[in-house]
Amino acid sequence: MSHHELDARRLLCPMPVIKTQNQVNTLRQGDTLTVICTDPGALNDIPAWCRINGHAVLETREEGHEVRVTLEVGEPSIAL
Amino acid sequence: MTESAPQTLQRRAIALVSGGLDSMLAVKVMQEQGIHVEGVNFFTGFCVEGHTHAIRKKDQDKNKRNNALWVAEQLGIKLHIVDISEEYKDVVLNPKHGYGANLNPCLDCKIFMVNKATLMLNKARELAGEKGFDFIITGEVVGQRPKSQRKETMPIISRESGADDRLLRPLSAKNLPETLPEREGWVDRSRLHDFSGRNRKPQMALAKRFGLDDFAQPAGGCCFLTDESYSRKLADLWQARNERRYELDDIMLLKVGRHIRPAPHYKLIISREEGENRFLEGYRYQFTSITTSSCPGPLALIDGTLASDDELRQAAAIVARYSKGRTDDEVVVEVRDPSGVARQLPVRPATPDQVAPEWMV
């Protein structure tokens, strides 16, 4: 199990979600990923994407104009 | 002891999910028949999504949710979001079936998206066999959209996408020829619908029956290309560049600010409020920018190249016109090039009649 970081700053939704999804598809169950964004929409969208696809949100945090979401990768699904 | 019934295979469908009501209902109709559904949502770059609300401060109280994700959560389905913005350029620039009322290539777009879903379906079948997918569904309704959702265009989409009879439209199926999932008995045709035309009442009634009362219904669909003023800005961009092409940044910037073109070779993109200011800030390393330093004011990007110092003064005067010092005799602006080199320039703010209405893109 390993920890990863994804810089999604300056990207507008849904790009931070797409980048998160694409990175999660390369990770293993139990790995953790922190996504750093500037679009405040990510604060809703990334946790929603996690709930839908079976990943756990460990922490969401706002720091100034930045949003950080940390998730734990759940069971893999068929990557379409 | 009775023998247990032979286990029937649960059939699986990929749904095109836009975030609107129709695709949501189409999924519900399938779930009601025991079909396992997963959604796919395509990002073209032209999507009308939460991000304009995210940019504009005054919109920040509005719902910032991504509707496709929200719909998927309500339906309890997985959602795969796919970035097709690069490949999509060819659909926008060279639509085989032409444009709708604006620069919306709706028919080519639908064919493209169903084709992508078909390729996903084929790939999943290859990888996972029966755990892959059996057919594709969309929320299309015959006669609902003048360009793409007509009785004549439905078979064109099925054929040209390569989906053929694996494409089912649950809301309009009874108006269309039988498809594979109906013929095979995976779904019961008699429990599908016969919606047609632009009347939304049947959808509303079905939504009510399913207990759905909170859904997005954007007037022009979920794409900026159906918007007249957006299409005009895109056409202006092509004309100014003497070629029909765009990058993702170009089409994002068309969603933000006031666009003013005083001369064919340059335009100003001027922020209208703090949120847009912050968004445009991120582009200052790509464009020469103008801000007001002697009073509060907007941030403007110069898209193109100024031919002379006179043009620079004209651009600066226009930017000053949108600052708090618009009625002052003089406003000092800072002109910064992409490498960060800045200089101060005092100007007299433009008067309203010095900004020609035809410059407004």
Verify whether the Cβ–Cβ distance B66 to A12 is below 8 Å.
no
pLDDT of residue A11: 86
B178, B169 in Cβ contact below 8 A? no
Higher pLDDT, B172 or A65: B172
Contact residues for B91 (Cβ-Cβ < 8 A; gap 6+):
B105, B108, B109, B112
**The pair of three-digit structure tokens given for residue B142, joined into one six-digit string:** 């015959």
Give the integer Cα–Cα distance in Å for B116 and B44. 13
Residues forming beta bridges with residue B36, ordered by sequence position? B12
Two structure tokens written together for B43: 């990002």
Length of chain A: 80
- Cα–Cα distance for residue pair B237/B37, rounded to 1 Å: 40
Residue A80 resides in a domain: no
Q: How far apart are CA A69 and CA A45, in angstroms?
A: 10
At B53 the pLDDT is: 53
The terminus-to-terminus CA distance of chain A in angstroms comes to 24
CA distance B275 to B173: 45
Q: Which of A7, A10, A13 to mutate to test the interface with B (most CBs of B within 10 A)?
A: A13
Chain A hits for B68, CB-CB cut-off 8 Å, are 14
Chain B residue numbers touching A21 (CB-CB < 8 A): 80-81
B108 within a domain of the structure (yes/no): yes
In chain B, the number of structural domains is 2
B27-B32-B36-B38 Cα dihedral, nearest 10 degrees: 20
B131 contacts A14? CB cut-off 8 A? no
Q: Residue B131: which pLDDT band, with cuts at 50, 70 and 90?
A: confident
Report pLDDT digits (tens) over A26-44.
Answer: 999 999 999 999 888 899 8
Closest to B21 (Cα-Cα) out of B59, B84, B74, B79? B74
CB-CB: which of B51, B128, B131 is closest to A13? Answer: B51
Q: What is the pLDDT of residues B70-118, one digit of tens each?
A: 999 999 999 999 999 999 999 999 999 999 999 999 999 999 999 999 9
Tell me whether residue B241 is in a domain.
Answer: no
- Which pLDDT does position B203 carry in this prediction? 94
Predicted pLDDT at B60: 56
Domain with residue A30: its CATH number is: 3.30.110.40
Please determine, for residue B169, whether its predicted confidence score (pLDDT) is greater than 90.
yes
Q: In this structure, is residue B81 part of a structural domain?
A: yes
Q: DSSP character for B69?
A: H
Cβ pair B131:A78 closer than 8 A = yes
Q: Which of B186-190, B214-218, B350-354 has the lowest mean pLDDT?
A: B214-218
Domain termination site, one of B224, B240, B267:
B224
Give the DSSP H/E element, type plus range, for residue A48.
Answer: helix A42-53
Strand A3-8: give its sheet, edge to edge.
A3-8, A32-37, A66-72, A56-63
Does residue B70 sit in the same domain as residue B195?
Answer: yes
Is A26 contained in some domain?
A: yes
Torsion of the alpha carbons at B251, B254, B255 and B260, rounded to the nearest 10: 170
Which CATH number belongs to the domain containing residue B102 in this structure?
3.40.50.620
B324 and B217 part of one domain: no
Q: Cα(B43)–Cα(B278) distance, rounded to whole angstroms?
A: 23
Confidence band, pLDDT 50/70/90 cuts, at residue B136: very high
Range of the structural domain that residue B355 is part of: 256-359
Query: Is residue A14, in this structure, part of any structural domain at all?
Result: yes
A38 bridge partner residues: none
Sign of the dihedral through C-alpha B302, B308, B310, B311: negative
Based on the fold, state whether residues B350 and B306 are members of the same structural domain.
Answer: yes
Chain B closest-CA separation from residue A53 CA (Å)? 6
Is B238 inside any structural domain? no
pLDDT of A32 reads 98
Q: Give start and end residues of each alpha helix (H) in chain B.
A: 21-32, 50-55, 67-75, 85-93, 106-128, 153-161, 180-183, 201-209, 228-241, 248-253, 274-281, 309-321
Do B107 and B157 lie in one domain? The reply is yes
What is the distance in angstroms between the CA of the first residue and the CA of the last residue of chain B?
A: 78
* Domain annotation covers residue A25: yes
What range defines the domain where residue A37 resides? 3-72
Same domain, B153 and B284: no
For every residue of B184-211, DSSP letters joined together read TTSS-GGGS---BSS--HHHHHHHHHTT
Supply the pLDDT for residue B250.
92
What are phi and psi for residue B112, nearest 5 degrees? -60, -45
B166 plus B270 within the same structural domain:
no
Residues B213, B313, single domain; the answer is no
Q: Residue written as tokens 């569904």? A: B137
In a domain, B201, yes or no: yes
Residues B281 and B343 in one domain: yes
Regarding whether B82 and B149 lie in a shared domain, the answer is: yes
Q: Does B141 lie in the same domain as B28? A: yes
Look up residue B3 and give its two tokens: 């023998």
A18 interaction partners in chain B (CB closer than 8 Å): 43, 81-83
Query: Does residue B2 belong to any structural domain of this protein?
Result: no
Distance CA B86, CA B73 (A): 28
Could you give the CA distance from residue B260 to residue B148 in angstroms, rounded to a whole number? 33
Same domain, B30 and B156: yes
In a domain, A79, yes or no: no
Are residue B21 and residue B130 in the same domain, yes or no? yes
> What's the pTM value of the predicted model, to 2 decimals?
0.88
